[in-house]
């Protein structure tokens, strides 16, 4: 458990948001703390301290009772609110799962504010580094997923420029370029080949027509996996546990295509996905697939969701040597470039 003492009000509020993110609390409370964080960031520190001393913090628009408590405790060198929140929102992991987590060097699927994420690229990178990673793969959505503000060609190019600057700032930590590209109905990809070829790692996922009939879905997925640009097949069944059933496809054909084309199968760690399901994961192991254990994080705290996937990998006996994000960034790139 993290205990925060001697931190600034900004740092304390950032940690509150992190904890709420990892607990997947997406309602009013989280939005209120995000708003409070923005207010404190934009207000001179001496004014915040003066208001805390005079009990007038809540007179600032965007500061409520809870955020005022966090601010005052931070200024006093206390952390009771944070300590309680840390304990309540801690992501559990088994000893066997911890062995997998200790082996991970990076995270191959996450989103930023460039698409539907809630944090900047830099914030995601710095958080991943604080969690012990050496790199992340930035995989914002492609343009077809308009609800997620997917990236068209010009925005992909602009993001590549941003990543160059961030890598200079954050070295030796590395941000690898990538995208979560939509697999279209005919199995083609939602970005031109010349653009996909410029990216370090490409995750391909189905986000539409998830109830397509068995045979057509099989052909669709096999066609995508055979692309020389696709490195990882993302959340392969598209399920949302308790809300949306799995897509139907020929498991053996799709996973055999992954093996033949050196495409990893993602073990998606989001708690509402945990995709592929157990029996399907067992089949992918038996067929010889490689895997990524990826958070699919859309906020900084969600980067900790890799623990869910590590527990699942341990439970089903995924060979650690076949998990591509246990490799160094250089080894991962050498593998993706052999497609």
In a domain, 315, yes or no: yes
Rounded Cα–Cα distance for residues 194 and 309 (Å) = 33
Mean pLDDT of 15-27: 92
Q: Mark whether 142 and 233 lie in a shared domain.
A: yes
- The mean of the pLDDT values for the chain is 96
Q: Mark whether 47 and 119 lie in a shared domain.
A: no
Mean pLDDT of 122-129: 97
Quick one: tokens of 223?
A: 């066609």
CA distances from 231 to 151, 200, 263 (A): 19, 9, 5
In a domain, 1, yes or no: no
Residue 53 sits in a domain of what CATH number? Answer: 1.10.150
Mean pLDDT of 308-325: 98
How long is the chain?
Answer: 339
Rounded Cα–Cα distance for residues 255 and 253 (Å) = 6
Peptide bond into 6 cis (omega under 30): no
Alpha carbon dihedral 278, 281, 282, 284, in 10-degree steps, equals 160
In a domain, 4, yes or no: no
196-208 confidence digits (pLDDT tens): 999 999 999 999 9
From 89, 104, 138, give the residue that closes a domain.
89
206-238 confidence digits (pLDDT tens): 999 999 999 999 999 999 999 999 999 999 999
Q: Mark whether 321 and 242 lie in a shared domain.
A: yes
User: Per-residue confidence at 3, pLDDT binned at 50, 70, 90?
Assistant: very low
User: Per-residue confidence at 5, pLDDT binned at 50, 70, 90?
Assistant: low
From 89, 105, 122, give the residue that closes a domain.
89
Q: Mark whether 247 and 293 lie in a shared domain.
A: yes
Question: Which 3 state secondary structure label does DSSP give 233?
Answer: strand
In a domain, 113, yes or no: yes
Q: Mark whether 104 and 33 lie in a shared domain.
A: no
Q: Mark whether 135 and 73 lie in a shared domain.
A: no
Quick one: tokens of 194?
A: 């010349």
Q: Mark whether 84 and 100 lie in a shared domain.
A: no
In a domain, 68, yes or no: yes
Q: Mark whether 248 and 117 lie in a shared domain.
A: yes
Q: Mark whether 41 and 177 lie in a shared domain.
A: no
Number of domains observed in the structure of the chain: 2
Quick one: tokens of 79?
A: 């952390």
| pTM of the predicted structure, to 2 decimals | 0.93
Q: Mark whether 63 and 106 lie in a shared domain.
A: no
Q: Mark whether 188 and 281 lie in a shared domain.
A: yes
Residues 6+ apart with CB under 8 A from 40: 9, 10, 13, 48, 63, 71
From 33, 64, 89, give the residue that closes a domain.
89
Mean pLDDT of 241-248: 97
Rounded Cα–Cα distance for residues 44 and 32 (Å) = 20
Mean pLDDT of 2-13: 78
Q: Mark whether 161 and 186 lie in a shared domain.
A: yes
For residue 48, the enclosing domain spans 9-89
């Amino acid at each position: 458990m993290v205990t925060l003492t001697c931190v600034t009000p900004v740092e304390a509020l950032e940690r509150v948001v992190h904890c709420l993110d990892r607990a997947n609390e997406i309602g009013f409370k989280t939005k209120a703390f995000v708003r409070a964080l923005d207010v404190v960031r934009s207000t001179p520190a001496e004014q915040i301290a003066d208001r805390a001393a005079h009990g007038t913090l809540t007179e600032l628009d965007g500061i409520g009772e809870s955020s005022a408590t966090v601010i005052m405790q931070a200024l006093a060198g206390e952390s009771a609110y944070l300590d309680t929140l840390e304990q309540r929102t801690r992501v559990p992991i088994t000893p066997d799962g911890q062995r997998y987590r200790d082996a991970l060097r990076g995270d191959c699927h996450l989103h930023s504010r460039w698409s539907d994420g809630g944090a900047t690229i830099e914030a995601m990178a710095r958080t991943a580094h604080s969690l012990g990673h050496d790199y992340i793969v930035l995989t914002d959505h492609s343009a077809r997923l308009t609800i997620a503000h997917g990236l068209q060609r010009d925005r992909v190019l602009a993001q590549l420029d941003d990543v160059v600057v961030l890598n200079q700032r954050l070295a030796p930590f590395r941000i690898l370029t990538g995208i979560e590209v939509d697999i279209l109905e005919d199995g083609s990809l939602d970005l031109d080949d010349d653009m996909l070829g410029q990216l370090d790692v490409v995750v391909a996922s189905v986000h539409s027509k998830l109830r397509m009939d068995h045979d057509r879905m099989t052909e669709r997925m096999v066609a995508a996996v055979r692309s020389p640009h696709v490195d990882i097949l993302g959340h392969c069944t598209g399920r949302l546990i308790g809300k949306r059933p799995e897509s139907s496809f020929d498991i053996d054909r799709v996973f055999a295509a992954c093996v033949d084309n050196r495409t990893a199968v993602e073990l998606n760690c989001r708690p509402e996905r945990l995709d592929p399901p157990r029996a399907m994961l067992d089949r992918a192991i038996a067929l010889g697939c490689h895997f990524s254990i990826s958070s699919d994080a859309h906020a900084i705290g969600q980067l900790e969701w890799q623990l869910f996937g590590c527990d699942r990998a341990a439970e089903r006996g995924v060979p650690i040597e076949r998990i591509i994000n246990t490799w160094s960034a250089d080894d991962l790139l050498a593998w993706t470039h052999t497609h």
